[in-house]
Homo-oligomer: A and B are copies of this chain.
């Protein structure tokens, strides 16, 4: 049996802390995200109470510094979340627990968890995209999450935007009509003037949404050619939207290359914390 490891899904509203092995959680707690000092102390108290795990994985909101040669490796960097910009997350955990700590984005961790235990089991390369208050994307290629100079920020890619058909200027404070600025939940709310949940299934909003999602996903497929693409998040709860996206992606790629399988997540809101456990297990091996 594998060693017990720890995982933290560090989110902007809550930290989910868990102890587990092999995709099974044996103990878990949820902590409201307040100040860094208070939140990290509460997380540490949980792990100390549970007995030190063999390793810890942290799946964090971002942007984060993943560069192991950087003096700020393990930090959350330029987040707009009050009190959390330039916060060392890994350092205090490593020092207090005395175990190796793996650090990645929440969406890279979710891609890893869906590959190991969820909707992308047995796929060699996986992309995970979530569409909610923003659009986040993570990927596992050649067995490991994709890191580079930083980490994927797929939500801020530019897609075609026909301003005659859709004069909405976009909702991204950084880029206006980037992918997230056109297709995340706040863009839907701002474009149509009502919460997206209240738009009926036959509203033209959903054909436009499917098209924008397909444009971004087709570009990701043409760049990475994942064996499986897991597409989730609150916006995808809309009945029929996933199938509309699939059809539009196939049309956009146009038989030029295989467009692959686009599937719903299987781990739901567990993918972040399970991904954190997967990161820890890979360190403890």
Binding site for B on A (CB under 8 A): 63, 124-125, 137, 139, 141-144, 146-154, 156-161, 174-175, 215, 218-220, 222-227, 252-258, 260
Contacts and interface: CB of A to CB of B under 8 A. Distances in A.
B153 A222 contact: yes
Given A158-B218, A218-B158, A256 B149 contact: no
Contact of A125 (B63, B148, B174): B148
Given A144-B142, A158-B160, A160-B161, A257 B219 contact: no
Given A142-B143, A143-B142, A225 B158 contact: no
Contact of A174 (B144, B148, B225, B256): B256
15 contacts: A124-B147, A141-B141, A146-B224, A149-B226, A149-B257, A149-B258, A151-B225, A152-B222, A153-B257, A154-B223, A156-B253, A158-B219, A174-B256, A175-B252, A224-B224
A228 to B, nearest CB: 8
Contacts of A143: 142
Contacts of A160: 158-161
Nearest to A144: B142
Contacts of A254: 174-175
- Chain B CB within 10 Å, residue with most, of A143, A227, A257: A257
- Chain B CB within 10 Å, residue with most, of A148, A158, A252: A148
Is chain A's interface secondary structure helix, strand, loop, or mixed overall?
loop
B219 A153 contact: no
A89 B197 CA distance: 53
Contacts of A255: 174
Contacts of A159: 158-160
Given A146-B224, A149-B226, 10 more contacts: A125-B148, A142-B143, A148-B224, A149-B225, A149-B257, A152-B222, A156-B222, A158-B160, A158-B219, A158-B252
A256 B175 contact: yes
A193 B8 CA distance: 59
